[in-house]
Structure 1
Amino acid sequence: MSIQITNLSKQYGQQRAVDTIAFQVSPGEIVGFLGPNGAGKSTTMKIATGYLAPSEGTVLINGHDIQTDPMAVRRSVGYLPEHNPLYLDLYVKEYLRFAGELHGMRGGALKSRIADVIDQVGLTNEQGKRIGQLSKGYRQRVGLAQAFLHNPPVLILDEPTTGLDPNQLADIRQVIKTVGRDKTVLFSTHIMQEVEALCDRVIIINKGKIVADSPLAQLRGQTADSTSQATYLADFETDLPDLAVLGTLPGVLSVDRLELGHYRLTATSDIDLRAAIFRLAADRGLILVGLRKQETSLEGVFKELTK
């Protein structure tokens, strides 16, 4: 396992910021690490990179223990903190050269790697500027560039797309996806579209405890099954002469007309309403042109698990 966390806790006085959590991340996985503010995400990431010591538990990064072999951990990890620390007086290439030299990179190999990374993150037109002259979005790109400059096997990215506009978001998503093909990536974000675009697996932490750890599709399904209501969208060729007819179906709680011929039905989750809608349409000679059970959104899952 590239990241192996076992019984990890972090105590600040009376506050338990991280409470006996455990998870693993395998090589090649891009895992979204979600949670509300104060849930313990950044604390966990700082411990995993060696910036904080745990109160209890163990963390192995690429097989190295963060407490007994911290330098090997730092060589194995590329880290972008939540608050991107940069030297604003340095030029972009100057800063990346400095970051590379800290990792023991030198000469032509470092120069070539800097050029590659600048191209990857879209800093070509900004490479001759001081970092202090850059917009917030471009500063975030500089932070991302230093995170994988030394080609580490593990990337830990704390809200890597903060400050990016929609066009930049698409570019950085592609960078993370491309880089993640042969690396382990654990990243946190509050942007659910990021997780849906990049991740197959999601870990959700709330009040210091992990409340979900599963593939994205499975997580949606489990949460949808555990709630008391389900939503269906039914599309008919024309408006129904009597809206109340849909309300007679078993388990229906409410019916809303969305537009001409389109209806939303809310029902108890213990009944799959689709078969009943089909039968109703056939019995009454109604032409049903579309029917689907509305998928639970990741945002809805997140709210349900962290409320």
Structure 2
Amino acid sequence: MTKLVLSFILLFASGAKLIAEDAMGVIIYTEPVSKQEDVLKVWMTAASTTQIEYKTTPQSLNRNRIKRSVVKSVYFFEPPVFKEAMDLYESRDYAGAREKFAACKKAFETLDEIRGNYSALAGFYELETCRKLEDLEGLKKLLDVYQADTLAREHQRNQLEVYAVWDAVRTKSWPRLDALVREVLAEKKWIGEHLAQLKYCHGLALEGLGRDTDALIAFNGAFTADYTASEELTQKAALACLRVIKGNDEVGLAIQLWGTEDEDPNSPGYFLLQEGVALCDLWKKSLGGGKPLPAEFASLLRYREDNKPKPEVKEKADEEGA
């Protein structure tokens, strides 16, 4: 019986460890008596708007408190659970990373009143995993409860503004999305990562509105805005371009007339068809990152100009005196 109780206590303590952890860090503060700046290496356990609770050793049972009014800054050391989550994220295991970020967010939520805390940061990357997985419903649910006040980095706070555009993608409100992207783009100069997202979402809106040419311009904008850093989004934009090209009526006509006397190499459909061929080649060469070109677009490669059959020339009836 004693062993059973002890096992239960150990199991409970282990579970509690997963729920709440102490955050190792440094507090820089002004010493109240000497008025000199001092530094504390601590394990923070909780925080409010008026004070920070901490321990001086990880094993200590004693809690100390310091007033926020004397604290100049707080720096957190990266916790192992966050590093594990980032390793998964950077290796593109977004589902696994999402679980780890959620655990990290929960473990340090008692410190979410401190700027730069790892609960807020893990919560941000949990949002990012939803975006990467295209789980826009999950993104919406998390955003509804996310507290961004203590998120430290400006580019991450700007990403929260971009999420409003992704939410319009979620609802497939194409006219609203078109207007919203134009408004957001005009607000400020966006970095490449955010500009690529905005252009891509705008392309989806324009495609949904049947404005193929404008959609291709927007997707191309996403393609070029952050080519090296946003590889996954670049690939999505490229495939979106191919989707628009293949579904275009004028391209369909160019395919129908391919290699015939009625073919017009100067037509918009012919031009777009050759753009599609070039994009397919680029995908196979480097853009796809080793991924095969989707079968639905591979048929475009039949329409290379150097593979074109020569049109049959009709014999003139009067040429031979017939």
Category of TM-score, reference length = shorter chain: under 0.3
Task: Please give the TM-score of this superposition, normalised by the length of structure 2.
Answer: 0.27
**Structure number with larger C-alpha Rg:** 2
Q: Greater helix share, 1 or 2?
A: 2
Q: Greater strand share, 1 or 2?
A: 1
By relative contact order (CA 8 Å, sep 6+), the higher-ranking structure is: 1
Task: Please give the TM-score of this superposition, normalised by the length of structure 1.
Answer: 0.28
